[in-house]
Amino acid sequence: MAARRLIRELAAFSADPNPALALLEPTSSSNLFQWRAVLRGPAAPSPYEGGLWEIIISIPESYPLSPPTMKFKTKIVHPNIHLETGEVCLDVLKSQWSPAWTISSACTAVQAMLSDPEPDSPLNVDAANLLRCGEFSGYNALIHYYIITYGLSEKEAC
């Protein structure tokens, strides 16, 4: 069931690409349960505009009844993303998951989270503290530094 659903989702993405993603594909032709996505930063006024990040997606055999796990492979600064492991804290990928979600739509939710951080439930305490203290210029500068230093180029994304 999960493999057929994933094949349909991949075909749907190929026919109608998601503008939030520069790339969405299985990491190998022999394993449909490990995918790679390249996420685009949301448009201005988001400080993430212009950034590209690789996300590794692990899909359980029980998909779509159970959510995928998404981790940023590319370093990114965000209160709800662990700086070292890339783990994402997003309710859609945990308690709010529904089989109505797809891998592509879940990636869109991650992109939306970039513009709407939840500093009160952080995985990155330093980024959360900058927001809680109102240090928006420092927060934005740190994001830009990480985009320039670690972000993918368009050539690397594909």
Annotated catalytic residues are: 89
Angle at 103 between CA 99 and CA 105, to 5 degrees: 85
Taking a C-beta distance cutoff of 8 angstroms, is the pair 53, 151 a contact? Answer: yes
Phi, psi of 53 (to 5 degrees): -135, 140
Rounded Cα gap, residues 158 and 148, in angstroms: 18
Query: Residue 115 burial (CB < 10 Å; 0-12/13-18/19+)?
Result: middle
H or E element that contains 151: none
The three-state DSSP-derived secondary structure of 71-99 is EECCCCCECCECCCCCEECCHHHCCCCCC
The answer for residues whose C-beta is within 8 angstroms of residue 130's C-beta and 6 or more apart is 136, 138, 139, 142
